[in-house]
Structures are given as C-alpha cells and as structure tokens.
C-alpha cells in the first residue's frame, strides 16, 4: 500500500494535497513547505481511505488536484468516506500542469 509520498510528519499539517496519476511530480515540485502533506493514490479501487481520513483530520485545509473537469477522485472519496475538500484544482485542457498553476 503505497499511498503517501511524504508521510513523515512531525508537526502540524497546514495543507493536505490529494491527487492521483500524472500530477504527482508537478505537485512534488510545488511543495516547498514542511507543513504541506501530499497523499498520492497509485490505484483507486478498492479505495483505501484510512490514512486519508487520519491526515485530513489533522489538516487545516484539504486540496484535491485532478486532471479532469468533474473531480472524479473527489467524488469517489466523498462516496467512500464522506470527506469533502476545501478546495479543488481541476485542470482539464489536455496540457500538463506546471507548479505555478497549482500554487495560484
């Protein structure tokens, strides 16, 4: 079960970023703060939500990053564990995201 990319958190989590697929490296390049946690799903079914729920409870803000118009992972997460994200970054123009796009 490889869900967490940066899972060694010793302090508070200000922001929890959740994503899957090709956004992984862009998100990792965008994170430059130790208070930002990133949860990357490598597969979506069966959806493992235990660590997600644990981290979301600690986070001040949750952000979903997806490469589609509907936020399909977000809908699946809501269905499976009831979590709704504070912010959603949905890019669906067919181009790869760049770090500055995720920050703004």
DSSP symbols for 12-52: -EEEEEEEEGGGHHHHHHH---TTEEEEEES--SSPP-HHH
| 64 is a domain residue | yes
Q: How many domains are there within the chain?
A: 1
Give Cβ neighbours of residue 4 (< 8 Å, ≥ 6 apart): 37, 38, 39, 40, 51
| 5 is a domain residue | no
pLDDT digits (tens, 9 = 90+) for 75-95: 999 999 999 999 998 877 666
| 82 is a domain residue | yes
Query: How many angstroms separate the CA atoms of 92 and 34, rounded?
Result: 28
| 3 is a domain residue | no
pLDDT of the residue at 46: 86
pLDDT digits (tens, 9 = 90+) for 52-75: 898 899 899 999 998 788 888 999
| 90 is a domain residue | yes
Query: How many angstroms separate the CA atoms of 18 and 20, rounded?
Result: 7
Residue 1, pLDDT above cutoff 80: no
| 1 is a domain residue | no
How far separated are the first and last CA of the chain, in Å rounded?
31
Please indicate whether residue 33 or residue 86 has the higher confidence score (pLDDT): 86
Determine the structural domain holding residue 68 and report its residue range. Answer: 16-36+44-103
| 11 is a domain residue | no
Give the pTM: 0.79
| 6 is a domain residue | no
């Amino acid at each position: 079960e490889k869900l967490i990319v940066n899972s060694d958190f010793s302090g508070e989590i200000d922001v929890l970023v959740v994503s899957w697929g090709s956004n992984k490296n862009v998100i990792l390049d965008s994170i430059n703060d130790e208070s930002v946690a990133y949860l990357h799903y490598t597969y979506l079914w069966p959806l493992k939500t235990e660590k997600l729920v644990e981290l979301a409870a600690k986070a001040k803000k949750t952000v979903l990053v997806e490469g589609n118009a509907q936020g399909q992972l977000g809908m699946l997460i809501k269905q499976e564990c009831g979590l709704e994200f504070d912010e959603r970054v949905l890019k669906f123009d067919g181009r790869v995201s760049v770090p500055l796009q995720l920050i703004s």
